[in-house]
Amino acid sequence: MKQYVVDAFTDHLFSGNQAAVCVMNDWPDNALMQNIAAENNFSETAFAVKEGTSYHLRWFTPGGEIDFCGHATLGTSFVILNYQEKFSSSVTFTSQVGDLTVKRNGDVYEMDFPAYNLKKIPVTAEMTEALGVRPLEAYIDRDLLLVLPDAESVRKLNPDLHRLNHLEGLLTAVTAPSDSSEYDCVSRVFAPKLNIPEDPVTGSTHCMITPYWCSRFGRKELTCFQASKRTGILYTGIRGDRVKIAGRAVLFSEEILMVP
């Protein structure tokens, strides 16, 4: 089985978010895909099989299969449009969250994703204890979104991962307005429930972050910065009940997996 490793939401190696990508003719069993994801120990390993004119796409974390992942969708699009279907300008994936279309425009890959709903919930003492700082606001959908007072609070955050495990939401995202003229907002994302202490750059959670800041700023387009150690840049926009998330990607490696 051939596997590619792609750094997503970046234009240079050793930054952005690593995704392993396997494009196959047929599906292996779930246990093998889970073992490969655990062996890779990246936040995501993507598996894709062509079915008709589209690809069926699934995502596995070291802790289990997940319903939706942005950076590994970008990584898979990069692989397919550069190594599988070099003369195509777009690719469509079927997934647990519906059809996802990705268009290539030069070296930028623009993904069309469903927007998350922003259900406001009370800020609790448990949230403050887990973060070490009191959020200004809290919202829930698949993930938990916590709005912090400023960008410095986001950058310096050192959360208690054990306490995060007991909060609502699959992932916990923190965000604040940017203090740099280059970006509109900053964020970080933690996923201890999936055995991922911090996710470097998270496309799916920007389906929640983008509607929030577009509404706050009265804007339809954003440039977002994820302030993890590896960092990443996402170009996002709101399109009714859909979110545009775009970014660059670079290939780190291409390898053959010695699996049964």
**Residue linked to tokens 């596997």:** 3
Rounded Cα–Cα distance for residues 145 and 255 (Å): 37
Give the pLDDT of residue 129: 98
Mean pLDDT of 142-159: 98
3-class SS of residue 64: strand
Q: Could you give the domains of the chain?
A: 2-111+247-256 (3.10.310.10), 119-240 (3.10.310.10)
pLDDT of residue 260: 81
Amino acid 28: pLDDT: 96
pLDDT at residue 259 is higher than 90? no
Catalytic (active site) residue 152: no
What one-letter code names the amino acid at 32?
L
User: How far is 69 from 205, CA to CA, in rounded Å?
Assistant: 9
Distance in angstroms (rounded) separating the CA atoms of residues 167 and 99: 30
Lowest mean pLDDT among 14-18, 114-118, 256-260: 256-260
Pairing of strands 249-256, 185-191: unpaired
Place 34 in a pLDDT band, splitting at 50, 70 and 90.
very high
Burial class of residue 97 in the structure, from the number of CB atoms within 10 Å of its CB (0-12 exposed, 13-18 middle, 19+ buried): middle
pTM of the model: 0.96
Catalytic residue among 44, 110, 152, 182: 44
